A and B are shown apart, each in its own frame.
Chain A
Amino acid sequence: MPARAGRSRRAGGLVLGLSTAYLTLIVLIPIAAVVASSFEGGLSAFWDEVTSPSAVAALELTFVASLLVVLVNAVTGTLIAWVLVRDDFRGKSVVNAIIDLPFALPTVVAGLTLLAVYGPKSPLGVDVAYSRAAIVVALLFVTLPFVVRAVQPVLLELDREMEEAAASLGSRPVTTFRRIILPNLLPAILSGAALSFGKAVGEFGSVVLISGNIPFDTEVASVHIFKSIEGDNPAGAAAVSVVLLVLSFAVLAVADVLERRSRRHDA
């Protein structure tokens, strides 16, 4: 950066100052309030809230369902990205565009529509409403774009000559995929998976209608927090929130590292 005269440096400082003040007011102070509130009764109170049977059940369910969803996404997301990049058919651009639909569609609308297809009045005869399977379906819906959109650009940039070289060396297509393509896609798949895990762990809107929110059965962490707030137990809500907060930070850090690594792979 070129250094400049004093007046402009002050103007630059003002821009940075205003941005930081905005971030502090909108994000930092509220987050700090959550952390502070969770430890209001001391460390043991925090621990008691986090390890209360209903909190443990909710966190466990959230964690396991999210992991399952991430695994499915890693496979289906890569598959969809593959078809969008390497295949060609009529209407491909429309399919490509609707991948972002789960991002654009409000989560509560997603929940309602899934309930219409996979609920009691299912036209397919598949009724998973108010079960753990329903949670997985809802999470699959809202996390669909992440792996696809992470893998797609990497696959586009992937050097076709590498595959041709492998083929010329006698490698069968499956072997080429496993030993040549997959290792190159892996950082992108993992980074997309990390982001969908983050989204799944905190998801609320799409789950709340379809899961039935039965404690110890289909109550996910964010619904647990919501009920604690409604039940006037902000300290309990804050304690579980801190667990989600830590997970969010971890996810951000992992995604950041993976993204950097996949970029290094490109170079």
Chain B
Amino acid sequence: MRSASGSRYTLRTMALGYLALLLVLPCSMIVYYTFKDGLGPVWEALTDPAFVSALRLTLIAVGIAVPANTIFGVMCAMALVRRPPKHGTWLINSMIGLPLALSPVVVGLALILVYGQNGWFGGWLTENGIEIIFSTPGIVLATIFVTLPFVVREVIPVLREVGTDQDEAAWTLGASRAQTFWRITLPAIRWGVAYGVVLTTARALGEYGAVAVVSGRLAGKTETLTLHVDEAYLRLDEVAAYTTSLVLALLAVLTLVAMNVFKPRTHKEVADVDRSPPGHEALR
């Protein structure tokens, strides 16, 4: 079978070559450009007040968006799986899916049209001295919007597979609904939630388009890490741009590691799960 193994090596070379040119080479360039001029400029870039403030703002956005979407995601998944509403499920599902498919720039525009000066709530907000667009709340809202789907979409299939047996067993043993949720349901879906949280965090750290529209880009004030990359590059401060990129890339690698820790577990959890009795299934 000489030709068979020959074609195997051809396919392997093609696939790995494509990945090398498209993924590996570009990403290794970040490291090269960051340390091109030694450690000094890198240190300077990392201690630049604009960088520090960008890091702070990014962490604020992540710190609000991730818990908000995690709580929403678990709640929404519970509602959709355990008690699907009779009507309007399609609308809820498309709203959950939309942020994945929609251009981030459109998300930014949408927020301006609602919360901007001439937006739907703009007048009321201005009167009350609340600033959303070109300010931190706008950036947080944009981040929440684009990261909304991840936890819900990860938890729904896990919740479906886990079924209701364990919850029902807990009820018959006297556990209230709240006790059942905290002690049984949540631990049963924990790896699915964790995986969703990792995806949400990655997307929140890296969001650029939506944030670029609503931020107003005041360096040191309304700039996130991704905007700082862009801004540094445009003022030809390559080291600052690449250093910030490297920080973001390292966070991305951490994300990959976390994904590879959690993903197999959600699968294992799902595979190991007892199916609900076929008899009941037939009745519903």
Contact = CB atoms under 8 A, between A and B. Distances in A.
Given A27-B95, A87-B12, A252-B97, A104 B104 contact: no
A169 interface: no
Contact of A204 (B30, B104, B284): B104
Contact of B27 (A101, A118, A223): A101
Contacts of B33: 116
B26 A116 contact: yes
B164 to A, nearest CB: 8
Contact of B94 (A1, A79, A104, A252): A252
B102 A244 contact: yes
Interface in A190-210: 195, 198-199, 201-205, 208-209
A169 to B, nearest CB: 18
Interface in A230-260: 234, 237-238, 241, 244-245, 248-249, 251-252, 256
A: contact size bracket = 35 or more
Interface stretch (B46-54, B73-81, B185-193): B73-81
B35 interface: no
A225 B109 contact: yes
Contact of A238 (B102, B109, B225, B229): B109
Contact of A244 (B15, B19, B106, B148): B106
Interface string B22-56: 11111101101100000000000000000000000
A11 B107 contact: no
Given A83-B15, A87-B12, A101-B23, A202 B102 contact: yes
Contact of A104 (B12, B30, B98, B206): B206
A19 interface: yes
B64 interface: no
Contact of A27 (B85, B99, B248): B99
B119 interface: yes
B: contact size bracket = 35 or more
Nearest to A96: B260
Nearest to B24: A98
Nearest to B15: A83
B206 A105 contact: yes
Contact of A79 (B11, B213, B229): B11
Contact of B242 (A31, A112, A225): A112
Contact of B18 (A80, A223, A225): A80
Given A106-B252, A202-B106, A83 B16 contact: yes
Contacts of B104: 202, 204-205, 222
Nearest to A98: B23
- Most chain A CB within a 10 A radius of its CB, from B32, B230, B259, B284: B230
A222 B226 contact: no
A199 B100 CA distance: 8
Given A26-B141, A113-B27, A209 B233 contact: yes
A222 B101 contact: no
Contacts of B177: 8, 11
Contacts of B32: 116
Contacts of B19: 80, 95, 98-99
Contact of A103 (B112, B202, B242, B260): B202
Contacts of B213: 226, 229
A109 B229 contact: yes
Q: Which 4 A-B pairs have the closest CB atoms?
A: A202-B103, A106-B206, A30-B110, A204-B209
21 contacts: A11-B177, A12-B83, A23-B76, A28-B95, A29-B114, A30-B113, A33-B119, A34-B110, A36-B113, A37-B113, A83-B11, A100-B259, A106-B248, A195-B101, A202-B105, A204-B104, A204-B209, A205-B209, A234-B112, A238-B113, A252-B98
Given A19-B72, A23-B76, A209-B233, 13 more contacts: A33-B119, A37-B113, A101-B23, A107-B209, A116-B32, A173-B4, A198-B100, A198-B101, A204-B104, A225-B109, A226-B209, A248-B101, A252-B98
